[in-house]
């Protein structure tokens, strides 16, 4: 294993998140080797000097570190273990960082089945939405060995807010932290949609109700900030598809089950998300459950005159 920080970064998965993350890596001066099943997703990067690889194995063979940013554990499995996957190209002692919201089982299996290859494997999922990916201000929660985290810090700092790049524990801890963040955020969303709908139906002005919540002990980041995208602009954040939000909630419930902790509230939130996905489609935004409540009460929850 080399102790030098990587200069050539391989990146697989150039979607809503990966496209912004790679642009920022390129801007920071890293040489990129990229791959996605959608060739056109790399056009801009290649025009800017990135190398296009035709398989994940080729990405791994040409990079100091290979990063995956893929929708679900199933996609990560294909990209890592497939016939032309990362494992077919990565050098012994090479580094793979999975930044997808996923689960530790796959990496554990790779470690067990390839223990002689001394691979360095980290999980480093992110928060901050596609806007955070675009402006290089992601929050990054890293599970793995401290020396690897330090070696890779310049890579993480090119994509995230240096103040909020957190080494959260051993391999697998990053995935767990990320799932709990999403579980709580989605719970805040459903609770807020319910409360605003009841209050508005009870005749309270939406702006007054929200400002009262913000001024009260019941305030939250969601009520204060994030809900404004719906209330101000009718924007349900299509940058994060509800299909992926449902995937995260399912993984979170699985995690609760695997550690033997009941998840009654989380289970309910998952069901509400699944209802919204069934009603509005896979590509609807992650905040579409608010719309379930709006449709139920026959009122769009909107504030007049919001400009920012």
Does residue 36 interact with ligand NAD by CB under 6 A? yes
Find the binder of ligand NAD among 6, 10, 11, 17 (CB under 6 A): 17
Give the shortest CB-68-to-ligand NAD separation in angstroms: 8
Q: Residue 129 or residue 177: which is nearer to ligand NAD going by CB?
A: 129
**In degrees, to the nearest 5, what angle opens at C-alpha 122 toward C-alphas 120 and 124?**
155
Q: Residue 104 or residue 199: which is nearer to ligand NAD going by CB?
A: 104
Q: Residue 40 or residue 116: which is nearer to ligand NAD going by CB?
A: 40
Find the binder of ligand NAD among 26, 95, 100, 252 (CB under 6 A): 100
Find the binder of ligand NAD among 41, 62, 220, 279 (CB under 6 A): 41
Does residue 101 interact with ligand NAD by CB under 6 A? yes
Q: Residue 81 or residue 127: which is nearer to ligand NAD going by CB?
A: 127
Give the shortest CB-20-to-ligand NAD separation in angstroms: 9
Q: Which stretch binds ligand NAD (CB under 6 A): 31-39, 45-53, 111-119, 222-230?
A: 31-39
Give the shortest CB-125-to-ligand NAD separation in angstroms: 6
DSSP-derived 3-state class of residue 50: coil
Does residue 69 interact with ligand NAD by CB under 6 A? yes
Does residue 55 interact with ligand NAD by CB under 6 A? no
Between 229 and 268, how does the x/- string for binding to ligand NAD read (CB under 6 A)?
----------xx---x---x--------------------
- Pick the closest to residue 99 from 180, 31, 22, 1 (CA basis): 22
Judged by phi (left if over 0) then psi (alpha if -120 to 50, else beta), residue 244 lies in alpha
Find the binder of ligand NAD among 13, 85, 160, 174 (CB under 6 A): 13
Does residue 85 interact with ligand NAD by CB under 6 A? no
Supply the residues annotated as catalytic.
178
Q: Which stretch binds ligand NAD (CB under 6 A): 35-43, 149-157, 196-204, 249-257?
A: 35-43
CB 10 within 8 A of CB 63: yes
Between 287 and 306, how does the x/- string for binding to ligand NAD read (CB under 6 A)?
--------------------
CB 61 within 8 A of CB 87: no
Does residue 285 interact with ligand NAD by CB under 6 A? no
Residues contributing to the site for ligand NAD (CB under 6 A)? 12-18, 35-38, 41, 69-71, 75, 78-79, 100-101, 126-127, 129-130, 239-240, 244, 248
């Amino acid at each position: 294993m080399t102790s030098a920080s990587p200069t050539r970064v391989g990146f697989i998965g150039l979607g809503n998140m990966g496209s912004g993350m790679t642009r920022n890596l390129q801007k920071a001066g890293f040489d990129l080797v990229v791959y996605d099943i959608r060739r056109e997703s790399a056009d801009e990067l290649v025009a800017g000097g990135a190398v296009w690889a035709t398989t994940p194995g080729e990405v791994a063979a040409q990079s100091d570190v290979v990063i995956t940013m893929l929708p679900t554990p199933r996609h990560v499995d294909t990209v890592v273990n497939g016939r032309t996957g990362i494992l077919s190209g990565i050098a012994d002692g090479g580094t793979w960082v999975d930044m997808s919201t996923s689960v530790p089982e796959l990496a554990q299996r790779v470690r067990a089945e390839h223990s002689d290859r001394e691979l360095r494997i980290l999980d480093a999922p992110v928060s901050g939405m596609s806007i955070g990916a675009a402006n290089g201000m992601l929050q990054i929660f890293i599970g793995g060995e401290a020396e690897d985290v330090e070696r890779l810090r310049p890579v993480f700092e090119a994509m995230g807010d240096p103040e909020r790049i957190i080494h959260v524990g051993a391999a697998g801890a990053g995935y767990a932290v990320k799932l709990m963040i999403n579980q709580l955020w989605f719970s805040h969303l459903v609770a807020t949609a319910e409360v605003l709908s009841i209050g508005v139906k009870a005749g309270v002005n939406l702006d007054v109700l929200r400002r009262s919540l913000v001024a009260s002990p019941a305030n939250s980041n969601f009520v204060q900030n994030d809900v404004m995208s719906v209330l101000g602009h009718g924007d349900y954040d299509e940058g994060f598809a509800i299909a992926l939000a449902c995937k995260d909630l399912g993984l979170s419930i699985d995690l609760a089950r695997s550690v033997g902790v009941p998840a009654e509230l989380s289970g309910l939130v998952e069901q509400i998300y699944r209802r919204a996905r069934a009603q509005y489609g896979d590509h609807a935004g992650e905040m579409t459950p608010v719309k379930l409540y709006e449709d139920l009460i026959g009122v769009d929850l909107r504030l007049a005159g919001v400009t920012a």
